[in-house]
Amino acid sequence: MAEVRIVTTPIAIEPLQHYVATTACGAVCLFVGQTRNHSRGRSVRFLEYDAYIPMAERELLRVAETAEARWNCRVAIAHRIGRVEVGEASVAIAVGAAHRAEAFEACRYCIDTLKQDVPIWKREMYAEGACWIEGDRVVGSS
Amino acid sequence: MTPEHTALQRPMGAHMPVSGGLHTSLIAGKAIGCTAVQLFTANPRQWQNAPLSGDAVRAFREAQEATGVRFVCAHASYLINLAAANEVLERSRDAFRAELERARQLEIPWVVVHPGAHAGQREDDAMAHLIESLQRILEETDAQHNPVGIALETTAGQGSTLGWRFEQIGAVLQALGKHPRLGACMDTCHIFAAGYDLRDAASYAATMAAFDAHIGIEHLKVIHANDSKKPLGSRVDRHAHIGAGEIGAQGFVPLLQDARLASVPVLLETPEARKMHAINLQRLRCLADGQPLEVQVTVLFFGHYRDYYPAPCVLMVPYGATVRELAEQLAAQDVRLSDLLQYCRFAMDTEYVTPDSALVSDCELAVLPPVSGG
């Protein structure tokens, strides 16, 4: 049973790890995506994440359940939205599996698919102005 | 529409798939707003089917109780030909006995069956076989106190099928003394393909007058509402989405508003059940209520589009309009939205959809530029 969550406060990583680490696990793989202080040569003050929340929850669950079925593992994902300071976690994925190969592969699949399909967007906030990030495109605004 | 109003309306719904167990047809039907459901109680393309398990029967009855679906009917196997001449005849009779027995166990009041095909016999001989089959089976099941009714379905007249003329169905009913467990099912696509027009008040009145004269409106137990891909009189049976065929959306209005049929259940048998049954059902309800065929769509914008449209936009679009047409409408209103189809993906009620998907009434359509989570 996968566990996914969209949160507005700092992500608590340990509960995710505990959730997936059953006694049948020989490996727990943890991925944490965190916000950088620079992007494309510009200094980033903080990020704002926006989501189409009901759909993002469904898509996250779909990603996690697909990984669970394909690699016979247990998955927990948390994604943060709203203001995220530099150096804080924006996403955390924990995968528990019998062996490390499945754990790594499932974890990789989750973050790659999340970045492809889950309707969440980030906005980089600079000293002067801000930009939406849309896939590979940077779209200027205010 | 008030709940009271809905409750007074005729049962309306669709033929629902049964993957996951017979009871899932009711649950899935309820989820898309069906108050009537038709199903296959066994694989319609094989002769032999295992008897229903006690668990399956229980699950079905519980699901009917829980969902409140008011009308259920079964559709018999496509293999059954009660008018056949050869060894198929006895197999068909046995398979149809099994259909009636499964319906009895499930407490389904009607089994819809095609009258069969002459397949090279003289038509009179085929009709005689059909009548004899029904007579025997009705007698047997009467003796067993099986209350399940048999609804003979009008056909398109494709190949050597019987039942495409109302006279043929009427003759069977007559021959069996208008047995109370015998009735008719009228399929709009089939009768249209067979040459009975219903697209306007005058042609509909003529068609129903013929139906009443030969079969009798009081014997009409089930209506299959399907548009037709093929023209009037083509005698080719190809179902189309409501409003997307030769009958056309307005072509269903006289039928749906006919007070004489107000209590006869209406069921869809249109393609792409999962995606389109909900839409076709809404179309029927809309037409029955005489409402304009428009749907309200709430459009949500994300990414940089949110800077232009922070709040949802509510738009009216014609019934059956696709996501693509809505995107074109938006582009025409605001040049900043001219690249939506090239640049964005779309989700209807939180599921990704293609630009060719038809918009569902009262849906939420999200415009999703490339994502950047993580």
Q: Does A116 touch chain B (CB under 8 A)?
A: yes
Give the range among A13-17, B65-69, B279-283 with minimum mean pLDDT. B279-283
Domain match, B151 and B231 both: yes
Residue B198 inside a domain? The answer is: yes
Domain match, B261 and B321 both: no
Rounded CA-CA distance A111/B235 in Å is: 55
ipTM score here? Answer: 0.95
Mean pLDDT confidence for B267-277: 92
pLDDT confidence of residue B301: 98
Residues 263-322 of B with CB under 8 A from A: 300, 302-304, 306-307
Query: Which of B302, B350, B351 is facing A50, going by the closest CB pair?
Result: B302
Domain match, B266 and B320 both: no
Rounded CA-CA distance B183/B110 in Å is: 9
Higher pLDDT, B178 or B134: B134
Domain match, B219 and B311 both: no
pLDDT in tens, B203-235: 999 999 999 999 999 999 999 999 999 999 999
Active site residue B190: yes
Active site residue B294: no
Domain stops at, among B229, B264, B288: B288
Strand blocks (E) in B103-204? 110-113, 149-153, 182-187
Q: Give burial (CB, 10 Å; 0-12/13-18/19+) of B101.
A: middle
Distance of CA A92 to the CA centre of its chain: 5
Residues in chain A with pLDDT values less than 70? 141-142
Average pLDDT of every residue of chain B: 94
Supply the range of the domain harboring residue B164.
3-288
Domain stops at, among B253, B271, B288: B288
Mean pLDDT confidence for B266-279: 92
Out of B62, B78, B272, B308, pick the active-site residue. Answer: B78
Q: What percent of chain B has pLDDT over 90?
A: 86
For A134, the token pair is 């849309």
pLDDT confidence of residue B295: 74
Domain match, B272 and B337 both: no
For A126, the token pair is 């600079």
pLDDT confidence of residue A141: 57
Within 10 Å of residue A124's Cβ, how many Cβ atoms? Answer: 23
pLDDT confidence of residue A111: 98
| Domains of chain A listed by start with CATH number | 3-141 (3.90.1170.40)
User: For residue B243, what pLDDT band results from cuts at 50, 70 and 90?
Assistant: confident
pLDDT confidence of residue B96: 98
Domain match, B250 and B145 both: yes
pLDDT in tens, B93-140: 999 999 999 999 999 999 999 999 999 999 999 999 999 999 999 999
Number of domains chain B contains: 2
User: For residue B250, what pLDDT band results from cuts at 50, 70 and 90?
Assistant: confident
